[in-house]
Amino acid sequence: MYRQLELNLYGGINTNMVLLNEINNNGDVGHLEGMLEEINSNNNMSQQERGYFYNKIRNRVKELKWEVDLGNGLLSK
């Protein structure tokens, strides 16, 4: 699953839509944490894109009733 996400992040025009779909439809906090790590390490993303996805992940994590520390990529109950 993470390998597929990595391929999507680094290799496609539809990267942002794939990532947004992953965030909105995933209830697995561990998976969201992995996505956060991918976003943090993706040098091809602009600061604006990164900020957009940080907010999307933050909102999704709140829906799942978890806390998020985006800088460290850590989630906690």
* Digit-coded pLDDT (tens) for 11-47: 444 566 667 777 778 767 777 777 778 788 877 878 8
Locate 23 and state its tokens. 């965030």
40 in Cβ contact with 69 (< 8 Å): no
Higher pLDDT, 37 or 76: 37
Stated as kind and residue range, the H or E segment containing 74 is: strand 74-76
Residue 77, C-beta contacts closer than 8 angstroms, at least 6 positions apart: 65, 66, 67
**What local confidence, expressed as pLDDT, does residue 76 receive?**
62
Across the chain, mean pLDDT equals: 70
3-state helix, strand, coil split of the chain in percent (to 5) is 65, 10, 25
Whole-prediction pTM: 0.60
